[in-house]
């Protein structure tokens, strides 16, 4: 039943799908997103806001999204929130041109600097990897408080870390979600996890800060075993997860043990496609939502 619901949601009206999407998205507006971050901060979690959307082909739209991100820094500052921002290059103009993306990301980086905040540059499919690193390097000329995401399933990622990592480098390590060729990316889950751990260890050796972005409980266990055995400083890493993904109390346990946990909070009017992807990864959510809908009728 869960799989059936998840498979037909993309073909149903959005109003019907909204209750199933709600666990994964902090609403459609800045106000709803800020309210959700406040709740997370009260529980001890750090947060990162992400405006949903990608592959923008209109210059006006890219500039509008850029202004929204800059506005978010203002709201975060006014509300004294423990919250940063994450931006996809194709959301602010990379599909228009490299120069457009650099211009807009530089504007966001300048606002991050002015507000004493941090900017994470997200990583998309492999066709954009080199361009994303170029954007990242341009932003590093503006502020030191900028980082980039690196994907563990790409063969090149360990070399990228070897080249870039130092005690001023900050990276979000994730497995990677895009469909990539076996010529450039690991396909086996265990190979991806092993490479993830190698990347984490290399970052620590180089004194770089790493965000361990994963919902994989086994991988978290392996990271914790290594952290404890090698006495890795808590100042060199944090755990990161996506808003709404079930973790069975693991996040609270990490907080209790003194680890920093950051929750990525997506929001915005482009919630539909994102939520369908999350539901396909966690179809049990459909069962819980459907059960609640029936109970509350």
Are the CB atoms for 188 and 210 separated by under 8 Å? no
Cα–Cα distance, 112 to 43 (Å, whole number): 25
Annotated catalytic residue 120: no
H or E element in which residue 46 lies: strand 46-51
Active-site annotation holder among 50, 120, 160, 172: 172
Cα–Cα distance, 46 to 110 (Å, whole number): 22
Residue 122 Cα distances to 26, 172, 257, 297, angstroms:
19, 8, 28, 40
Annotated catalytic residue 218: no
Are the CB atoms for 28 and 268 separated by under 8 Å? yes
Both tokens assigned to 296: 């509350």
Q: What letter would DSSP give residue 23?
A: G
Segments of 88-221 assigned E as strands: 119-121, 146-151, 170-174, 209-213
Q: What angle do CA 49, 266, 175 make, to 5 degrees?
A: 95
Are the CB atoms for 149 and 124 separated by under 8 Å? no
Residue 255 Cα distances to 88, 112, 219, 234, 291, angstroms:
28, 26, 17, 12, 30
Active-site annotation holder among 50, 120, 122, 278: 122
Residues with catalytic function: 122, 172
């Amino acid at each position: 039943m869960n799989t059936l619901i998840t498979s037909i949601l993309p073909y149903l009206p959005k109003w019907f799908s909204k209750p199933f999407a709600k666990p994964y998205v902090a609403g459609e507006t800045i106000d709803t997103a800020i309210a959700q971050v406040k709740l997370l901060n009260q529980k001890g979690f750090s947060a990162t806001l992400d405006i949903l959307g990608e592959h923008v082909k209109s210059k006006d739209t890219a500039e509008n999204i850029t202004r929204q991100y800059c506005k978010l820094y203002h709201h975060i500052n006014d509300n004294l929130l423990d919250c940063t921002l994450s931006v996809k290059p194709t959301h602010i103009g990379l599909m228009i041109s490299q120069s457009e993306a650099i211009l807009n990301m530089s504007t966001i980086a300048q606002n991050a600097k002015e507000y004493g905040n941090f900017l994470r540059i997200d990583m998309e499919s492999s066709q954009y990897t080199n361009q994303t690193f170029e954007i990242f390097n341009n932003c590093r000329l503006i502020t030191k408080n900028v980082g980039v995401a690196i994907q563990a399933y790409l063969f090149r990622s360990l070399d990228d870390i070897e080249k870039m990592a130092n005690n001023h480098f900050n990276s979000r390590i994730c497995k990677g979600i895009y469909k990539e060729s076996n010529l450039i990316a690991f396909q086996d889950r265990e190979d991806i996890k092993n490479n993830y751990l190698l990347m984490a260890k290399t970052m620590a050796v180089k004194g770089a800060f790493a965000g361990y972005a994963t919902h994989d409980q086994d991988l978290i266990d392996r990271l914790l075993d290594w952290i404890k055995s090698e006495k890795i400083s808590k100042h060199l890493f944090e755990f990161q997860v996506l808003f709404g993904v079930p973790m069975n109390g693991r996040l609270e346990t990490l907080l209790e043990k003194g680890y920093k946990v950051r929750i990525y909070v997506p929001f915005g009017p482009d919630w539909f496609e994102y939520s369908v992807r999350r539901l396909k990864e966690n179809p049990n959510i459909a069962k819980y939502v459907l059960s609640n809908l029936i109970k509350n009728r």
